[in-house]
């Protein structure tokens, strides 16, 4: 059983006896962990940047976290060029939101002309993507939304990386430059993987819609009504297939952004837990200052979880509240309406797979964060 020996004001003279540790990775800043994904999000009109002009408030968490410093001081005022780009990106994001809503309304008119179960599913999908992208616009536009979380993330990561040098038993890796600028690009593999995966899924979905619209023999009036009805012309259908790109990205990318943030929060807990486990397994006692330092770092990461919950809970609530009923409806279609129709069955299975995957992935990464929060408590209780 591990033992923690807390000794009043004992200085950590024994820390220099520990061998160097190269296994614990540094925590990543906002752009370092999300740069590839954010670039694509801006291109497809799902994300825009807004400067956070306020100051981060101090935090006096339970478990003795002490003061949470604004380690990321207020940045200098943006240049005219950057402000202009941010404003243009905001207008573009708003235009995409309006475009999605207009297509959802168009689909409502189409489905009122001829009620078909596959079009009901498509109608729900159109409204889901419109709501998701509108929420993303509100989250990015509000200063206390994504801009606050962006600023908080950089501030907390700077604090964690600085505190790591003060809490660590390994004093050979204390150089701040090594911790903050060691080579962050090697840690963006997860962001690149998520971005490429989402792009591939988007292209596959767009290719499917193109096939259902045109097939191999020209425009198919029956299957193309969901994309370009009621104006069933090849020109309008071809132009409106651009909508498939915006709709798919609005459905896939917000969940991917949330999952990647949860993944990086889990890594923060992992880094802290690894260092804490090594401290517990050390033959030397842990002094009071080091134990309190670990407790403060844990409280800061927990506060990041709280801020993320405030920012992303509306989006995640919409995804759950729309996808779970849609899954139930799709199961009903599959067992009671398909009646051996291979095309209808295939489309239903595709929708079912997409909705189920979205819900399962979001649940997986959320539960993973919750598990990491409790892990260090279990370690401390050993």
* Cis status of the peptide bond prior to 230, with omega within 30 of 0: yes
* Burial class, 317, CB count within 10 angstroms (exposed 0-12 / middle 13-18 / buried 19+): exposed
pLDDT of residue 377: 57
Q: What is the distance between the alpha carbons of residues 270 and 160, in angstroms, rounded to a whole number? A: 13
pLDDT of residue 107: 82
pLDDT of residue 167: 64
State the Cα angle at 126 between 121 and 130, rounded to 5°.
145
List per-block mean pLDDT (blocks of 10 residues) for the chain, which spans 382 residues: 37 38 63 88 92 62 42 49 80 94 86 70 86 94 89 85 61 39 57 91 87 72 71 80 89 93 89 78 73 83 89 91 90 81 81 91 90 65 50
Q: Which residues of 95-128 are buried (b: 16+ CB within 10 A; e: fewer)?
A: ebbebbbebbebbeebbeeeeeebbebbbbbbbb
Q: What are 335's two structure tokens?
A: 């067992």
pLDDT of residue 57: 57
Alpha helices per DSSP H over the chain: 30-43, 80-113, 117-141, 146-167, 176-181, 189-214, 221-228, 234-240, 242-281, 288-336, 342-381
pLDDT of residue 63: 39
Closest of 344, 342, 340 to residue 330, by C-alpha: 344
> Which residue has tokens 């992208």?
133
| pTM, two decimal places | 0.80
Cα torsion through 264, 268, 274, 275, rounded to 10: 150
Alpha helices per DSSP H over 229-287: 234-240, 242-281
Q: What is the distance between the alpha carbons of residues 313 and 366, in angstroms, rounded to a whole number? A: 11
Q: What is the distance between the alpha carbons of residues 114 and 219, in angstroms, rounded to a whole number? A: 19
Task: Say how many CA atoms lie within 13 Å of 57 toward its Cβ.
Answer: 6
Closest of 233, 226, 252, 230 to residue 319, by C-alpha: 252
Closest of 372, 312, 3, 304 to residue 153, by C-alpha: 304
Domain spans, the chain: 35-53+82-381
């Amino acid at each position: 059983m591990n033992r923690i020996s807390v000794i009043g004001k004992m200085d950590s003279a024994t820390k220099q006896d520990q061998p160097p540790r190269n296994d614990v990775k540094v925590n990543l800043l906002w752009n370092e962990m999300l740069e590839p994904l954010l670039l694509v999000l801006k291109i497809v009109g799902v994300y825009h940047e807004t400067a956070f002009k306020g100051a981060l408030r101090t935090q006096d968490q339970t478990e003795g976290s002490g003061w949470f410093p604004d380690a990321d001081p207020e940045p200098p005022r943006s240049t005219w060029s950057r402000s202009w780009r941010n404003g243009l990106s905001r207008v573009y994001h708003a235009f995409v939101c309006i475009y999605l809503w207009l297509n959802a309304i168009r689909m409502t008119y189409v489905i009122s002309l001829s009620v078909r179960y596959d079009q009901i599913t498509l109608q729900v999908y159109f409204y889901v993507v419109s709501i998701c992208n509108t929420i993303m616009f509100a989250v990015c536009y509000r200063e206390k939304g994504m801009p606050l979380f962006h600023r908080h993330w950089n501030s907390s990561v700077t604090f964690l990386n600085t505190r790591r040098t003060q809490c660590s038993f390994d004093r050979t890796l204390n150089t701040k430059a090594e911790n903050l600028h060691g080579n962050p690009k090697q840690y963006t593999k997860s962001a690149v993987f998520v971005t490429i995966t989402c792009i591939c899924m988007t292209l596959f979905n767009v290719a499917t819609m193109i096939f259902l619209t045109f097939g191999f023999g020209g425009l198919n009036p029956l299957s193309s009504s969901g994309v370009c009805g009621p104006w069933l012309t090849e020109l309008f259908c071809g132009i409106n297939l651009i909508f498939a790109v915006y709709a798919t990205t609005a459905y896939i990318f917000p969940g991917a952004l949330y999952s990647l943030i949860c993944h990086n929060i889990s890594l923060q807990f992992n880094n802290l837990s690894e260092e804490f486990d090594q401290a517990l397994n050390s033959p030397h006692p842990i002094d009071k200052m080091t134990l309190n330092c670990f407790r403060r770092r844990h409280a800061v990461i927990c506060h990041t979880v709280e801020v993320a919950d405030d920012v992303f809970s509306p989006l995640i609530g919409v995804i759950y509240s729309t996808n779970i009923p849609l899954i139930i409806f799709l199961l009903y279609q599959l067992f009671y309406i398909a009646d051996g129709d291979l095309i209808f069955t295939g489309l239903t299975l595709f929708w079912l797979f997409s909705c189920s995957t979205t819900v399962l992935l979001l649940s997986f990464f959320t539960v993973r964060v919750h598990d990491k929060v409790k892990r260090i408590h279990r370690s401390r209780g050993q």
